[in-house]
Structure 1
Amino acid sequence: MSEHWPHGALIVLGASEEQIVLYQEARRRGIPAIAVDVRADAPALPFADAALKISTRNTDAIADALGDVRPAGIVGGASDAALASWHALGLRYGTPYVYPRSALAAGDKAVFHAIAASCGVAGYGWTASDEPDQVIAEATRLSFPLVIKPSDGSGSKGVSLVARAEDLYAAVADARSYSASQTVIAEEFIQGRPLAVEVFMQDGRALMTCVKDKDFAGETFVVRRLRTVQLAPAAHHQLEATVERLCRGLGIANGPANFDIVLGADGQERVIEANTRLGGDGVPRLLAAAYDVDVVRALIALVLGEPFSDHLTPTRAAHAALELTGSPHDTEGELITWEGIAEARSVPGITDIELYAKPGDLVRPHDQSGHKIGLLVAAGPSDTDALTALDTASALLRPIIRPKEES
């Protein structure tokens, strides 16, 4: 079957809305892109030159389907599911860049706690187990409120905030349902300013570091808005030094990573999670709007064995903000239409509007990252300018959704 696949292609692991930018960059370069995704309706498939309907976790099946094809490179986007395959396929085909096996440790939140401690990062109380009774018993000895989540999860799936011991059972059961290993971690909730730090490493040092503020949707841990922030130089350098140590601890000498960090009232930063890949939720668009850097081009250059630093040199210092659009309903529904698209695009300062759902699509409540249906990005000379543009466009852009009738 290998004759069906183009030689010298870029193998893209995943075809969600987050991976669209990878296919667009391959097309811009004139490199054929082979998509790997088990879903026949994955949003990025129209941007691919060919597709393998295979799980991104199934390395052997992917290699069998490719046959004697020798890809130019293997790449993954804003998804943890494909990281192990990214490493294994890179080794198998001897591609210029091989995703580091050590970086897979970030996918286990309990293991990452140990790595963070070894890097001198301040910790906090936590416990993890694949036995529900054990994690509940040990969690009761921590300081409430607690965050309960799957130890190997992502995208805010199965994450809940628990204020009382009697609510632990339901929260643990929910988190466990999203864990491939059936392992749940309970962590003390850290009060403070939630930040996301994006970094792109070169030869063990941070070539680019961006700090972002995060706003959440309602009482959830689902990100609703991101905006770039300019911290005082000392604070920025401290965060950059922290993520550099963590990247080196995870074996990331070159490439992207992002970290969820809380700045506590005591001035100490505490690292909540690490994602050893490109950031999701439209982060490449946000960085391009603020600094005119292109982390997608940098990543593709890296996996093809080319120099990548030029793509990460800022040419402007604007402020940018991003809003993720989700269903306004708490039940499933059908998207009937979008209203106000042209008006929203015409708002001064709006740099990107992406719509991931089309009329007729099933739309779910925005209770996890993967349920977003669109995003807006704005930029301006000040934080206020960017947020004003975002507020104006967001009020104009309206998804019209018919709630699904209960059976």
Structure 2
Amino acid sequence: MKKILIVGAGYEQIDMISKAFDMGHYVIVADADPLAPGFEYASESHIISTTNKEELLKLASEKQIDAVSYMITETPMESVLYISKSLNLPGPSEESVKASQNKNEMRRMFEISEVPGPTFQLISEQDSIDYDKLTFPLVIKPSDKAGQIGLNRVYEPSQLSIAMEKAFKHSSKKEVVIEEYLEGQELNIVIFVQNNRIELLTISDRERHPTKSFGVALSHRFPSKYYSDALYHEIRSLCEKIIKSLNISNGIVYPQILLKDNCLYVIEVGERIPGGKMKEVFKLATGYDLVELQLKLSLNEEIDLEKINQFKVYKSVFIDFLTAKPGILDTGKVLKAEGIEEARNVPNVIEANYFVNPNEGLEIRPLNTASDRFFYVITAGDNINQVIEGNKESQNKISFVVDKSSEVNR
């Protein structure tokens, strides 16, 4: 039995905590929230902020841990790096952590390595903006946040000040990135890297509304409708540049890439298991569980994919999220849910469940960020059209009765 420290015990970290426990390990978790839902799945839990690296290192040293890990959120990365370096354990690379904490740093690294991306400039609160150098539309975002927090698209100069104010509000470093907006097909890439080599790679389409709830994915489709052997090899070559630039020798890497006019542009990269049900896409498409792979890497285990537990592989996977506008759901507290069991029994349905934590009270919120998505349906099979139709049929069986008087606009 090995001792694993998992930094973060939120709703989306439960999968890793449970998996580590099921693998026979002693699981220690830390989170600032005394009511963190992951605590009940752990061997022991500690109320420590995921950014308090000194206290976390003290805990890790006292417990003589064998591994430290995290998933989905990038917030704990600096702490995990600090612990792993101090105790000589596997962890994220320094370059990867710098890039995740500062989008300007990421762009600088990519420019040096000739990784293509949108043009950008970094603005602090003291800087003045040269409007003559701006070409609209633009993307405005905090330099140190993810998950669409503080993210805006602006079409004209009159919208810029409000977007900048919002981005500065969410930036702990009070720095904002002004980025060229590129219109094209967004692609989610998930790669498993071991010994400096890409061993698994998936390419899926990331679909969102063209004008509303900017940046929030409303569905994922595997394989990409643009998939070809040529595109696969081009993306693989680009990903090799990315992992070399970020000095990643072992890890799960999540690049978000845009395909525009047959050219590829890197929008974001994270050395982490992705959220938004992307790990489910990977599992259904490859047969491998990203959480298990990450835990084994954290334990410094050599992974032989031919010997590791493999799940059923599907040729096509489709995930659709049920949300408030631009989705079909009304906002407000949910009084009654109907048709969920019937939806789960539709052919090709793998999962149909709440995206939010149902134990915290069900409320359909306005769709501002990815965390505001309410429900999801996952379908998989060998025919993409049947898979998509099954998803639609499943959704049609689900309805929610809400108390509209409780509606809260955020």
Q: Please name the residue that 1:38 is paired with.
A: 32
More off after superposition, 169-178 vs 211-220: 211-220
SS at match of 1:177: helix
1:120 aligns with 2:114: yes
Q: Write the distance in 1 (CA, Å) between the matches of 2:357 and 2:312.
A: 33
1:326 aligns with 2:327: no
1:106 aligns with 2:99: yes
1:11 aligns with 2:5: yes
Q: Write the distance in 2 (CA, Å) between the matches of 1:337 and 1:140.
A: 53
Q: Is the 8 A contact 1:228 1:319 kept in 2?
A: yes
Q: Write the distance in 2 (CA, Å) between the matches of 1:235 and 1:123.
A: 17
Q: Please name the residue that 1:381 is paired with.
A: 382
Q: Please name the residue that 2:285 is paired with.
A: 290
Q: Write the distance in 2 (CA, Å) between the matches of 1:176 and 1:36.
A: 29
1:209 is matched with which residue: 190, 196, 201? 201
> 1:338–1:268: structure 2 CA closer, same or farther, 3 Å change rule?
same
More off after superposition, 372-381 vs 242-251: 372-381
CA RMSD of aligned residues (A): 2.4
Q: Is the 8 A contact 2:69 2:91 kept in 1?
A: no
Q: Please name the residue that 1:192 is paired with.
A: 184
Letter in 2 for 1:338: A
Q: Please name the residue that 1:29 is paired with.
A: 23
Q: Write the distance in 2 (CA, Å) between the matches of 1:312 and 1:241.
A: 28
For residues 323-374 of structure 1, what are the alpha-carbon distances to aligned partners after superposition, in whole Å with 9 as ceiling and x for unaligned? 2343459997333343222111111111123323327345532311222334
More off after superposition, 114-123 vs 50-59: 114-123
Gaps of 5+ in 1: 1-6
Q: Write the distance in 2 (CA, Å) between the matches of 1:140 and 1:197.
A: 35
Q: Write the distance in 2 (CA, Å) between the matches of 1:124 and 1:158.
A: 19
SS at match of 1:68: helix
> 1:111–1:233: structure 2 CA closer, same or farther, 3 Å change rule?
same
Q: Please name the residue that 1:81 is paired with.
A: 75
Q: Write the distance in 1 (CA, Å) between the matches of 2:322 and 2:6.
A: 26
Report matched runs for 1:149-298 at 5 Å.
149-217=141-209, 219=212, 220-230=214-224, 231-265=227-261, 267-298=262-293
Q: Write the distance in 2 (CA, Å) between the matches of 1:52 and 1:354.
A: 29
Superposed displacement of residue 101, structure 1: 1.4
> 1:114–1:63: structure 2 CA closer, same or farther, 3 Å change rule?
closer
1:145 aligns with 2:137: yes
SS at match of 2:268: strand
Superposed displacement of residue 290, structure 1: 2.2
Q: Write the distance in 2 (CA, Å) between the matches of 1:144 and 1:387.
A: 35
SS at match of 1:87: helix
For residues 52-71 of structure 1, what are the alpha-carbon distances to aligned partners after superposition, in whole Å with 9 as ceiling and x for unaligned? 22210111122344562111
SS at match of 1:223: coil
Superposed displacement of residue 17, structure 1: 2.7
Gaps of 5+ in 2: none
Superposed displacement of residue 94, structure 1: 3.0
Superposed displacement of residue 255, structure 1: 0.6
Q: Write the distance in 2 (CA, Å) between the matches of 1:43 and 1:379.
A: 29
> 1:55–1:113: structure 2 CA closer, same or farther, 3 Å change rule?
same
Q: Write the distance in 2 (CA, Å) between the matches of 1:274 and 1:87.
A: 17
Superposed displacement of residue 39, structure 1: 1.9
Structure 2 length as normaliser, TM-score?
Answer: 0.89
For residues 73-122 of structure 1, what are the alpha-carbon distances to aligned partners after superposition, in whole Å with 9 as ceiling and x for unaligned? 11110011000011111123333x12221211222111111222222223
Superposed displacement of residue 148, structure 1: 0.5
Superposed displacement of residue 239, structure 1: 0.6
> 1:406–1:300: structure 2 CA closer, same or farther, 3 Å change rule?
closer
Q: Write the distance in 2 (CA, Å) between the matches of 1:123 and 1:163.
A: 20
Q: Please name the residue that 2:294 is paired with.
A: 299
SS at match of 1:237: helix
Q: Write the distance in 1 (CA, Å) between the matches of 2:61 and 2:54.
A: 11
Q: Please name the residue that 1:3 is paired with.
A: none
> 1:174–1:255: structure 2 CA closer, same or farther, 3 Å change rule?
same
SS at match of 2:190: strand
> 1:405–1:292: structure 2 CA closer, same or farther, 3 Å change rule?
closer
Letter in 1 for 2:65: P
SS at match of 1:44: helix
Superposed displacement of residue 20, structure 1: 2.0
SS at match of 2:297: helix
Q: Is the 8 A contact 2:118 2:267 kept in 1?
A: no
Q: Is the 8 A contact 1:127 1:138 kept in 2?
A: no
Paired residues in the alignment total 397
SS at match of 2:63: coil
Q: Write the distance in 2 (CA, Å) between the matches of 1:312 and 1:258.
A: 22
Structure 1 length as normaliser, TM-score?
Answer: 0.90
